[in-house]
Amino acid sequence: MPHLKTEEMIMNMGPQHPSTHGVLRLELVTDGEVVKSITPHIGYLHRCFEKHGEELTYPMIIPFTDRLDYLASMNNNHAFNLAVEKLLNLEVPRKVEFIRVIVAELQRIASHLVAIGTFGADIGAVTPFLWTFRDREVILNLFENLTGARMLYNYMWPGGVARDFPKGFREEIGAFITYFRPKIRDLNNLLTGNHIFISRTAHVGVLPADVAVNYNCTGPVLRGSGVKWDLRKNDPYSIYPEFEFDIPVGQGTMGTLGDTWDRYYIRCQEMEQSLNIIEQALAKFPVEDATDVQAAVPRRIKPPAGEVYARAENPRGELGFYIISDGGTKPFRVRAKSPCFVNLAVLPALGKGIMVSDIVAILGSIDIVLGEVDR
Amino acid sequence: MKPSEIVDLLKQQEFGDKILSFEENTFQPGIQINPLWIEDIFYFLRDDDRLAFDSLSCLSGVDYGAGKELGVVYHLFSMKHNHWLVVKVKLDRESPHVPTVEHIYKAANWHERETFDMYGIVFDFHPDLRKILLPDDWEGYPLRKDYQVQELYHGIKVPF
């Protein structure tokens, strides 16, 4: 109906907008309510991580990695340490690996809770937001007990972790698992099957699998499109091969494969898988092992000249660190390949011919953290 | 496939003289190629069934030191065969130009913009080569080793 075309309007969504999850500006070209094109403008939170990295020694960079994806600091620490340990050819004690996996999976649950809660709030369901933040609080309290910080931990160091589990900490995690399992069911009852929620998310923002791979989308965005790909299984690191867990993939249950609902539901399922991993890790935990968790941390970290690209499965996808060492105590080059940056790049491709209100749903389902997009 | 086998395969495809060097004894073996042939090589790497490099995992700019050349490092990964290849190009510092691979891997679009922003490397034929993280009127390329920060930005003192 070309005669119904109205005059195009350019509209700014952001930089300050509750549904952009941070400081992000989307430049929309709209024709009435229909979006013709989306141009994201990022960089408002650029903090020169890579430039800082060249000026700092390796242990000093770890607090900076906390601040990339500030909802998943433990996972960021883990990815960075994987890279440094590869460069140093450092063997990590088995007990430390268990501690790392447990806290990384707890962090994944906490991060997914924020993703699910804010996604619901974006679409107009405020109750799940309060519920998920209530449960996340339990995890943050655990982390506060463990590290002294609630969000930015500086917990994992090359070859070790900062502190051993305090007394009774494993029992507290066990209690959290018993507490949290029914909460996932409640959340599914409240949000996942909600008729209004489904009508806002099903068939919206369909991302085909080949497009997702070509854009190198990772994490729930890729798995939502039906690609069974998880670095914990497919390119294993740490002690993940010892645990049994499934990789949930999108199936188009409520609409089309790869739609917003699929991406959302992946996160709900992944929380249960994380609980399974933690349970197994607690059961296998080397209780008798009295190794000092800092024993393997080198006094002076000075990797031989070389370069490495190491990656880990973060809640939002593949976080990679490309480090070039010239043999000094500071890296010659640190590159952080952030999953949010890459996943956000697919938004212009998804946002053609959709309604303005659907942008909020799509953006929420991609689940970006602007701290990591801008670095 | 092992990196040496990948390189052999590339040599069979008459890309032999476009591969300038092959580092094998590193964590992630890589090849350095002639930047002019990057499109042909990447098309082959992506579309050949034996290689099937379907994802560009990372694209980074590198400055090898003041007065030396600049570089771009592509980390290619095949989800089908689970193998890696690191491809490097080295570029003249005065006029760094390399053809874009945006039409081969869409993931390169924003990565190339970022590399342009931080290093001033120009990706020829890129559809939308604008700065991405820094303001449009920012002077200089911050991640270059010889970068001097500008004194004032819109009347605000920059170095502190």
Mean pLDDT computed over A7-29: 83
Between chains, do B82 and A345 touch, taking CB under 8 Å as contact?
A: no
Would residue B102 count as lying in a domain?
Answer: yes
Amino acid at A271: M
pLDDT 10s digits, A35-57: 888 999 988 888 889 888 888 99
Q: In the prediction, which pLDDT does A277 show?
A: 92
Q: Please tell me if residue B73 touches chain A, with a CB cutoff of 8 Å.
A: yes
User: What integer best gives the mean pLDDT of chain A?
Assistant: 88
Residue A1, pLDDT > 60, answer no
Q: In the prediction, which pLDDT does B160 show?
A: 67
Q: What separation in angstroms does the CA of A61 have from each of A73, A156, A297, B151?
A: 13, 12, 15, 27
Mean pLDDT computed over A257-265: 89
pLDDT 10s digits, A69-92: 888 999 999 999 999 998 888 888
- Taking the CA of residue B125 and the nearest CA in chain A, the distance in Å comes to 18
Mean pLDDT computed over A139-149: 90
| Distance from the Cα of residue A86 to its chain's centroid | 22
Q: Please tell me if residue A235 touches chain B, with a CB cutoff of 8 Å.
A: yes
DSSP string of B42-84, one letter each residue: HHHHHH-TTT---EEEEEEEEE-STTS-EEEEEEEEETTTTEE
Would residue B146 count as lying in a domain?
Answer: no
Q: Please tell me if residue B22 touches chain A, with a CB cutoff of 8 Å.
A: no
| Distance from the Cα of residue B5 to its chain's centroid | 22
Q: Taking CB atoms and an 8 Å cut-off, how many pairs form between chains A and B?
A: 81
Provide, as residue numbers in chain B, all residues whose Cβ is less than 8 Å from the Cβ of A307. Answer: 26-28
Q: Which of A114-123, A234-243, A331-340, B10-19 has the lowest mean pLDDT?
A: B10-19
Instruction: Using CB atoms, pick whichever of A42, A308, A375 lies closest to residue B27.
Output: A308
- Residues with Cβ < 8 Å from B74, sequence gap 6 or more? B42, B56, B58, B59, B86, B87, B88, B101
Q: Please tell me if residue A211 touches chain B, with a CB cutoff of 8 Å.
A: yes
Q: Please tell me if residue A45 touches chain B, with a CB cutoff of 8 Å.
A: no
Would residue B25 count as lying in a domain?
Answer: yes
Q: What separation in angstroms does the CA of A249 have from each of A19, A75, A260?
A: 26, 21, 13
Domain that holds residue B87: 3-133
Mean pLDDT computed over A281-303: 84
Would residue B152 count as lying in a domain?
Answer: no
Kindly give the parts of chain B with pLDDT less than 50: none
Contact B132, A24 (CB under 8 A): no
Q: In the prediction, which pLDDT does B136 show?
A: 87
Residue A109, pLDDT > 90, answer yes
Mean pLDDT computed over A182-197: 87
Provide, as residue numbers in chain A, all residues whose Cβ is less than 8 Å from the Cβ of B109. Answer: 345
- Taking the CA of residue B3 and the nearest CA in chain A, the distance in Å comes to 15
Mean pLDDT computed over A200-227: 89
Q: In the prediction, which pLDDT does A21 show?
A: 77
Instruction: Using CB atoms, pick whichever of B26, B79, B143 lies closest to residue A50.
Output: B143
- Taking the CA of residue B16 and the nearest CA in chain A, the distance in Å comes to 25
* Cα–Cα distance, B23 to B88 (Å, whole number): 11
* Cα–Cα distance, A37 to A155 (Å, whole number): 42
Q: In the prediction, which pLDDT does A141 show?
A: 92
Between chains, do B86 and A234 touch, taking CB under 8 Å as contact?
A: no
Instruction: Using CB atoms, pick whichever of B105, B110, B135 lies closest to residue A341.
Output: B110
Q: What's the token pair of residue A269?
A: 């399922």
Would residue B61 count as lying in a domain?
Answer: yes
- Taking the CA of residue B15 and the nearest CA in chain A, the distance in Å comes to 24
Provide, as residue numbers in chain B, all residues whose Cβ is less than 8 Å from the Cβ of A234. Answer: 79, 82
What interface predicted TM-score (ipTM) does this complex get? 0.89
Return the percent helix, strand and coil in chain B, to nearest 5. Answer: 25, 30, 45
Would residue B148 count as lying in a domain?
Answer: no
Residue in A87, A210, A216, A330 to test binding to B, most B beta-carbons within 10 Å = A216
Q: In the prediction, which pLDDT does B159 show?
A: 78
Q: In the prediction, which pLDDT does B32 show?
A: 87
Between chains, do B133 and A374 touch, taking CB under 8 Å as contact?
A: yes
Banded pLDDT at A4 (limits 50, 70, 90):
low
- Taking the CA of residue B107 and the nearest CA in chain A, the distance in Å comes to 4
- Of chain A, the percentage scoring pLDDT greater than 90 comes to 26
Q: Please tell me if residue A37 touches chain B, with a CB cutoff of 8 Å.
A: no
Residue of B nearest to A338 (CA): B58
Q: Which of A40, A346, A349 is nearest to A220 (CA)?
A: A346
Between chains, do B132 and A213 touch, taking CB under 8 Å as contact?
A: no
Would residue B60 count as lying in a domain?
Answer: yes
Would residue B8 count as lying in a domain?
Answer: yes
Between chains, do B107 and A46 touch, taking CB under 8 Å as contact?
A: no
What is the pTM assigned to this prediction?
A: 0.89
Residue A286, pLDDT > 80, answer yes
Q: In the prediction, which pLDDT does A291 show?
A: 80
The dihedral sign for the CA sequence B123, B128, B132, B135:
positive
Number of domains in chain B: 1
CATH number of residue B19's parent domain: 3.30.460.80
